[in-house]
Amino acid sequence: MNSSPISLTAKRIVCIGDSLTLAIGSAELDKWPVRVALELEKEYPERYALFIRAWNGATTFDVLQRMTAEAGYLMPATVLVALGANDAHVPSHRRSPQVGIAEYASNLREISRMITEAGGKTIFVAEHVPSASPSYIPGNGKTYEENYAPYRQALLETARELGAPVIDIPTLMADRGIETSAIVIDDGLHLSKDGNATYAELIFSQLRFLKME
């Protein structure tokens, strides 16, 4: 996002995440961060500039290695941190996740600390719980849903500990009666066009609730 000049007075919003934030496979204007940016511009013209800093396959560990170089210059900013799906991922050749739960929580704290010390504000995003998919068989014999659920809980607990806002996608979806199957493609994880639209609507509604203006 942001190929055009940005107003010097615009407040920055940075979306940090993985392939779900990149919305891989989606047309540019369908991606949820781009949709959020367009809604912000519609409601608050020239007040916000949104930047996507996300990497396919990224874990919290990976983001810690890249944040300063690739997002540090954008601070201070409001930063949406949407991470966990890859931390919880158990490849077929392994029996343990890529990042353990304790390390995941510690990494979230460190990411938030870096944002805060740079004058920014952290908003955590708890992503949807993936649905079962025959194309994905974790190496520990559990489902993706079973592996991911405790990471979402760890994110919620870490946010409470830090006093940071959370946009809890699973709860918002449940409140609206939205099933995971309605927002993902066949792999049970990545967002469909409708899924990106749902994410954008839910996240934008919470940014308004959090008084982004």
- 11: enclosing H helix or E strand: strand 11-17
Asked if residue 171 is part of any domain, the answer here is yes
Strand extents, DSSP E, 71-189: 78-82, 121-126, 166-168
Residues 6+ apart with CB under 8 A from 128: 169, 170, 173, 180, 183, 184
Asked if residue 125 is part of any domain, the answer here is yes
Tokens of 129: 């719980």
Q: How confident is the model at residue 193 (pLDDT cuts 50, 70, 90)?
A: very high
145-189 pLDDT per residue, tens: 888 999 999 999 999 999 999 999 999 999 999 999 999 999 888
Determine the pLDDT at residue 107: 98
Asked if residue 145 is part of any domain, the answer here is yes
90-126 pLDDT per residue, tens: 888 888 899 999 999 999 999 999 999 999 999 999 9
Please list the helix, strand and coil fractions of the chain in percent, rounded to the nearest 5, in that order: 45, 15, 40
92 is in which domain, residue-wise?
Answer: 11-209
Asked if residue 20 is part of any domain, the answer here is yes
Q: Is 37 helix (H, G, I), strand (E, B) or coil?
A: helix
Find where tokens 């099933």 sit: 179
Mean pLDDT of the chain, nearest integer: 91
Q: What CA–CA distance (Å, rounded) separates 67 from 156?
A: 22
* DSSP character string of 59-82: -HHHHHHHHHHHHGGG-S-EEEEE
Tokens of 23: 């919305």
The residue type of 12 is R
Asked if residue 3 is part of any domain, the answer here is no
The yes-or-no verdict on residue 25 having pLDDT over 80 is yes
Q: What CA–CA distance (Å, rounded) separates 147 from 141?
A: 10
The total domain count for the chain is 1
Asked if residue 120 is part of any domain, the answer here is yes
77-96 pLDDT per residue, tens: 999 999 999 999 888 888 88
Asked if residue 5 is part of any domain, the answer here is no
Q: Give, in order, the Cα–Cα distances in Å from 167 to each of 15, 46, 152, 185.
A: 13, 24, 11, 22
The average pLDDT across 181-206 equals 95
Q: What CA–CA distance (Å, rounded) separates 169 from 85?
A: 13
Burial degree of 185 (CB within 10 A; 0-12, 13-18, 19+): middle
Asked if residue 178 is part of any domain, the answer here is yes
Torsion of CA 30, 31, 37, 43, to 10 degrees: 40
The yes-or-no verdict on residue 9 having pLDDT over 70 is no
40-74 pLDDT per residue, tens: 999 999 999 999 999 999 999 999 999 999 999 99
Distance between the two ends of the chain, CA-based, in angstroms?
20
More confident residue, 83 or 4: 83
CATH code of 27's domain:
3.40.50.1110
Residues 6+ apart with CB under 8 A from 175: none
Q: Is 50 helix (H, G, I), strand (E, B) or coil?
A: strand
Determine the pLDDT at residue 110: 98
